């Protein structure tokens, strides 16, 4: 008997994440899709070689990639999704989809560094300029939009400095001038911010982070608001020769099954730890949008349904040696880039900041914490001992 796919839209997130992409009738009853390692697809009818609606080559992906694309649309909504070999490749795919030679991109100054470098390198070489703007520009973006503007790229909150952008206000100004809006929605894992309800045209996810969730897979996704944007994004994927490995797609899909649980736990732990950090004498400010003292708290509260496990901390000025002793002595937190995995990470971010429109000013060192699934009391004890080393320095 063929499996009757339920209408997932009526279910809550955890249920959708458990069922998304399931089609056991295609896989001898197996709950999970098969990993098909397929480049060449054999075609019986010569007339079908060049003129058929069916897939004739494996590059766009087989059942497991299709299941993952479906699952991404189940989380964020949208009319279509494409995968990319990394989160950064998803950013560059979305940017390439909207970029035009002679055009100008508007980009948040708080953007992830490698996305900035793609604009300043490859896109610039191809005749696309980029103007960076203050992430808190809001409706003021209207003054920057002109006839050359080919797209607006947002990242909210910024993944190092945690400014929450007024996406609806920016998207409204963009819509008025028919300019596409791209959002790097990685912080929310696509769960806590609904891009298409807020006017976004292309939503980018570094699936490497929360979706994969185990620090072992690179993958990106772009979900499109409309069939037209989905078609354009797929065309870019094909023209760039992108591929998403079936083994990796399988691992991301497996990660998605527990995304709801992990995010709930990690988000709650992170908020608790952020609140605790706020009370510590060596901490100057905690950059977590769910804290009432965060400058963008009202926007976050209006637009987000929750928070993930990534936030920033500005310390009071501290000697470099004391900071080094704090970081190197941690027992649970480890230093490393990336985030969203099951393991807690801590990293100093000052050397990673590249700003041109809205310079970053802080009274002391900036740290970024990614809270994993360890017990929050153990994490707090680890941080407490770390702050004591900072104090001793
Ligand atoms: C990590 C990250 C990316 C890139 O993801 P990779 O899979 O590491 O290429 C893109 N955007 C944001 C906000 C990120 O944090």
Q: Which pLDDT value is given to residue 248?
A: 98
- In this prediction, residues 276-280 reach a mean pLDDT of 98
Buried b (16+ CB within 10 A) or exposed e, 140-169: ebeeebeeebbbbbbbbbbbbbbbbbbbbb
The sheet that has 283-287: what strands, in order across it?
Answer: 283-287, 310-315, 366-370, 345-348
Q: Tokens 């607006």 correspond to what residue? A: 152
How far is CA 61 from each of CA 56, 128, 219, 352, rounded to the nearest angstrom?
11, 30, 13, 35
**Residue 351 pLDDT level (bands cut at 50, 70, 90):** confident
Under a CB-based contact definition with an 8 Å cutoff, are residues 364 and 315 in contact?
yes
- In this prediction, residues 52-58 reach a mean pLDDT of 89
For the cut 80, the answer to whether the pLDDT of residue 18 exceeds it is yes
CA distance 308 to 262: 9
**Residue 348 dihedral angles phi and psi, to the nearest 5°:** -75, 135
For the cut 90, the answer to whether the pLDDT of residue 391 exceeds it is no
Verify whether ligand 1 is closer than 6 Å to residue 88 (CB atom): yes
**Residue 211 pLDDT level (bands cut at 50, 70, 90):** very high
Q: Which pLDDT value is given to residue 272?
A: 98
**Residue 2 pLDDT level (bands cut at 50, 70, 90):** confident
- In this prediction, residues 24-49 reach a mean pLDDT of 93
Q: Point out the ligand 1 atom lying closest to the alpha carbon of residue 209.
A: 1
Residue 107 pairs in a beta bridge with 132, 153
Instruction: Ligand 1 pocket test: pick from 90, 202, 209 the residue with the most ligand atoms within 8 Å of its Cβ.
Output: 209
Instruction: Kindly give the distance from the C-alpha atom of residue 61 to the centroid of ligand 1, in angstroms, as a whole number.
Output: 22
- State the average pLDDT for the chain: 96
Verify whether ligand 1 is closer than 6 Å to residue 86 (CB atom): yes
- Answer yes or no: pTM beyond 0.75: yes
Summarised one tens digit per residue, pLDDT across range 67-126 is: 999 999 999 999 999 999 999 999 999 999 999 999 999 999 999 999 999 999 999 999
Instruction: Kindly give the distance from the C-alpha atom of residue 213 to the centroid of ligand 1, in angstroms, as a whole number.
Output: 13
**Three-class secondary structure of residue 361 per DSSP:** coil
Verify whether ligand 1 is closer than 6 Å to residue 155 (CB atom): yes
350 versus 300: the higher-pLDDT residue is: 300
CA 84 vs. chain centroid, Å, equals 13
How far is CA 252 from each of CA 86, 184, 259, 334, rounded to the nearest angstrom?
12, 18, 10, 23
For the cut 70, the answer to whether the pLDDT of residue 1 exceeds it is no
Instruction: Kindly give the distance from the C-alpha atom of residue 47 to the centroid of ligand 1, in angstroms, as a whole number.
Output: 43
Residue 104 pairs in a beta bridge with 129, 149
**Residue 53 pLDDT level (bands cut at 50, 70, 90):** confident
Verify whether ligand 1 is closer than 6 Å to residue 344 (CB atom): no
For the cut 80, the answer to whether the pLDDT of residue 393 exceeds it is no
Instruction: Kindly give the distance from the C-alpha atom of residue 88 to the centroid of ligand 1, in angstroms, as a whole number.
Output: 5
Summarised one tens digit per residue, pLDDT across range 286-344 is: 999 999 999 999 999 999 999 999 999 999 999 999 999 999 999 999 999 999 999 99
**Residue 44 pLDDT level (bands cut at 50, 70, 90):** very high
Q: Which pLDDT value is given to residue 51?
A: 87
Strand runs labelled E in 162-249: 181-184, 202-206, 220-224
For the cut 80, the answer to whether the pLDDT of residue 354 exceeds it is yes
Look at residues 330, 23, 372, 47 and name the one whose alpha carbon lies nearest to residue 210. Answer: 372
Under a CB-based contact definition with an 8 Å cutoff, are residues 264 and 106 in contact?
no
Summarised one tens digit per residue, pLDDT across range 216-268 is: 999 999 999 999 999 999 999 999 999 999 999 999 999 999 999 999 999 99
Q: Point out the ligand 1 atom lying closest to the alpha carbon of residue 86.
A: 7
Verify whether ligand 1 is closer than 6 Å to residue 87 (CB atom): yes
Q: In percent, how much of the chain has pLDDT > 70?
A: 100
For the cut 90, the answer to whether the pLDDT of residue 368 exceeds it is yes
Instruction: Kindly give the distance from the C-alpha atom of residue 55 to the centroid of ligand 1, in angstroms, as a whole number.
Output: 30
């Amino acid at each position: 008997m063929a499996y009757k796919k339920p209408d997932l839209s009526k279910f809550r997130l955890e249920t959708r994440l458990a069922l998304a992409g399931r089609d056991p009738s295609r896989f001898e009853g197996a709950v999970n899709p098969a990993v098909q390692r397929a480049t060449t697809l054999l075609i019986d009818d010569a007339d079908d070689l060049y003129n058929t609606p069916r897939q004739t080559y494996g590059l766009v992906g087989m059942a497991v990639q299709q299941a993952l694309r479906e699952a991404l649309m189940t989380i964020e909504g949208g009319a279509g999704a494409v995968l990319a070999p990394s989160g950064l490749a998803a950013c560059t795919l979305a940017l390439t989809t909207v970029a035009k030679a002679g055009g100008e991109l508007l980009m948040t100054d708080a953007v992830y560094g490698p996305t900035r470098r793609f604009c300043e390198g490859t896109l610039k070489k191809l005749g696309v300029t980029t103007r960076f703007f203050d992430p808190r520009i809001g409706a003021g973006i209207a003054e920057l939009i002109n006839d050359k503007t080919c797209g607006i790229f947002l990242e909210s909150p910024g993944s190092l400095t945690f400014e929450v952008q007024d996406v609806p206000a920016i998207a409204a100004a963009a819509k008025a001038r028919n300019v596409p809006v791209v959002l790097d929605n990685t912080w929310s894992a696509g769960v806590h911010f609904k891009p298409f309800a807020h006017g976004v045209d292309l939503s980018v996810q570094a699936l490497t982070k929360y979706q994969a969730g185990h620090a072992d897979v690179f993958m990106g996704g772009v979900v499109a608001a409309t069939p037209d944007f989905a078609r354009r994004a797929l065309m870019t994927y094909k023209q760039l020769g992108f591929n998403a490995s079936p083994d990796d797609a399988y691992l991301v899909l497996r990660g998605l099954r527990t995304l709801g649980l992990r995010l709930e736990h990690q988000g709650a732990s992170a908020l608790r730890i952020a609140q605790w950090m706020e009370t510590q004498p060596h901490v100057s400010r905690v950059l977590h949008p769910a804290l009432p003292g965060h400058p963008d708290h009202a926007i976050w509260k209006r637009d987000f349904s929750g928070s993930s496990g990534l936030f920033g901390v500005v310390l009071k000025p501290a000697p470099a040696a004391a900071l080094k002793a704090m970081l190197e002595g941690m027992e649970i937190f480890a230093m490393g880039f990336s985030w969203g995995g099951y393991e807690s990470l801590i990293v100093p971010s000052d050397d990673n900041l590249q700003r041109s429109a809205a310079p970053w000013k802080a009274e002391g060192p900036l740290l970024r914490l990614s809270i994993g699934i360890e017990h929050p009391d153990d994490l707090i004890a680890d941080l407490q001992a770390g702050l004591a080393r900072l104090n001793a320095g």
